[in-house]
Structure 1
Amino acid sequence: MVMDATFRWALPKLFAGQAQKELFHNEALTRIDMLLHGAAASADESAPPAAPAIGDCWIVAAGASGDWAGREGMVACWTEGGWRFVTPRAGLSLWVVDRGYAMRHEGAGWADAPVREDGLYVAGDRIVGGRGPGIADPSGGATVDGEARSAIGAILHALRTHGLIYA
C-alpha cells in the first residue's frame, strides 16, 4: 500500500508524473518550518489573533472559535496561504513564549515542561527552586544540644528554601 503522506507528520509525498509537485513540496516545507525548533506565542488563546504575522504559531486552547473552531490542541500557524494546522504527536515539544518555558504533548494533551526558569516541577509542584545562601558551619556555644539544634534548623531551612522538602 502506497501512502500519499508521511506517517508521523502527514508531509505530502511526491510521485512520478505528479502535476504541480511544487505545491506538495512547499506544503511539506511549511509543516517542517512550523515544527522544527518550534515556538508558539501562547497555549491559552482560543480565538485566532486579529493580525498575526507570517510564521507565528499557537497551541489552540479549549473552546476554540472562528477559524480555529474544532482545532483544540492543534498547532496553528499563520502562513502566506492562511491558517495551517498540525495535529501534535506524543513527544512534540514547543517553546511557549508567553509562559517562558516549553510544553510537551503527552499523546492525549499538552503538559507544562518540568524544567522552568524558576525550578524543577513534578506533577505541577515545584520540587527544586533557586539556590539559596549556603549554611555556615556550626561554631561556638557551650551546650552541644543547642548547637546541634541550630545546625539542624539551618539545614532544614535551606532544604525548604531550595524546595527540596516541605515544612
Structure 2
Amino acid sequence: MTDMLITARHALPLLAVAQAQKELTHNEALTLIDALVHSAVEAGPINDPPSDPAPGQCWLVGDNATGGWHDHAKAIALWTVGGWRFAAPRAGMIVTRLTDRARLRFDDGAWVEPRPIAVPSGGSTIDAEARSALAKLILHLAAQGLLISG
C-alpha cells in the first residue's frame, strides 16, 4: 500500500482513478474521520491497549506503547470491528479526555494537559468578593476542560 494516495493533513485514504473496491478505501477514510471529528478519547496517554475495547472507542497512546499499539507512540488509537486504527496527531489538535473531561492539546510533539490553577488564598488584605469571583471563574474554566482546578 505504499502507492496509496492520502490527504495532506490526516493521511486519509483517497480514491484512485479506476480503483477496484473503492468502498474499502472510502470506508477506511470515514472510520478515521469518525474518530477525528470532535475527538473524544476514553483515557490517555497510556502505553497498554485496553483488554476489552468497544468499537468506536479511542485512546491516546503513550510514549512507550506495547502490544497492538507498538510503534504508534502519541497516536490516537481507534478500536474498530476490524482491529486497531491509528491517526497521527498534528500540532494544535485538541481532544477531550472522557475520564476527567480535560481538553488536551497536541503541541511540540506531546499531548499537553491543562495546567492546574490554585484557588486564591493568603495575602494581607482579603477581598471576599474578588476571591469568590475568581473561584467561580476557575470552576467554570475547569468545567469547560480548559484548566484543572487545584
TM-score range for the pair, normalised by the shorter chain length: 0.7 to 0.9
| Residue 89 (structure 2) pairs with residue 98 (structure 1) | no
TM-score, normalised via structure 1 length: 0.69
Gaps of 5+ in 2: 138-150
Name the counterpart of 2:40.
39
**Identity over the aligned pairs, expressed in percent?**
39
Question: In structure 2, how many angstroms separate the alpha carbons of the residues matched to 1:126 and 1:95?
Answer: 19
| Residue 117 (structure 2) pairs with residue 126 (structure 1) | yes
The letter for the 2-side match of 1:46 is N
SS of the residue corresponding to residue 27 of structure 1 reads helix
The letter for the 1-side match of 2:134 is H
Question: In structure 1, how many angstroms separate the alpha carbons of the residues matched to 2:15 and 2:108?
Answer: 29
Give the paired residue count: 131
The answer on whether the counterparts of 1:91 and 1:107 sit within 8 Å (CA) in structure 2 is no
| Residue in structure 1 matching 2:125, options 125, 147, 153 | 153
* Moved >3 Å (runs of 4+): 156-164
Question: In structure 2, how many angstroms separate the alpha carbons of the residues matched to 1:101 and 1:52?
Answer: 21
Once the two structures are TM-superposed, the CA of residue 62 in structure 1 deviates from its matched residue by 2.5
SS of the residue corresponding to residue 162 of structure 1 reads helix
Name the counterpart of 1:116.
none
Once the two structures are TM-superposed, the CA of residue 108 in structure 1 deviates from its matched residue by 1.2
Once the two structures are TM-superposed, the CA of residue 16 in structure 1 deviates from its matched residue by 1.9
Name the counterpart of 1:162.
134
Q: Which has the higher contact order (CA 8 A, sep 6+)?
A: 2
Pair 1:28–1:4, CA change in 2 (3 A): same
| Residue 62 (structure 2) pairs with residue 61 (structure 1) | yes
The answer on whether the counterparts of 1:42 and 1:58 sit within 8 Å (CA) in structure 2 is yes
Once the two structures are TM-superposed, the CA of residue 84 in structure 1 deviates from its matched residue by 0.2
Gaps of 5+ in 1: 114-123, 131-151
Render the CA deviation track for 1:30-56: whole Å, top value 9, x for unaligned: 110010111100014211111100000
Once the two structures are TM-superposed, the CA of residue 70 in structure 1 deviates from its matched residue by 2.1
SS of the residue corresponding to residue 84 of structure 2 reads strand
SS of the residue corresponding to residue 68 of structure 2 reads helix
Once the two structures are TM-superposed, the CA of residue 78 in structure 1 deviates from its matched residue by 0.2
TM-score, normalised via structure 2 length: 0.76
Render the CA deviation track for 1:63-120: whole Å, top value 9, x for unaligned: 211111121210001001100001000111111011221101114111114xxxxxxx
SS of the residue corresponding to residue 28 of structure 2 reads helix
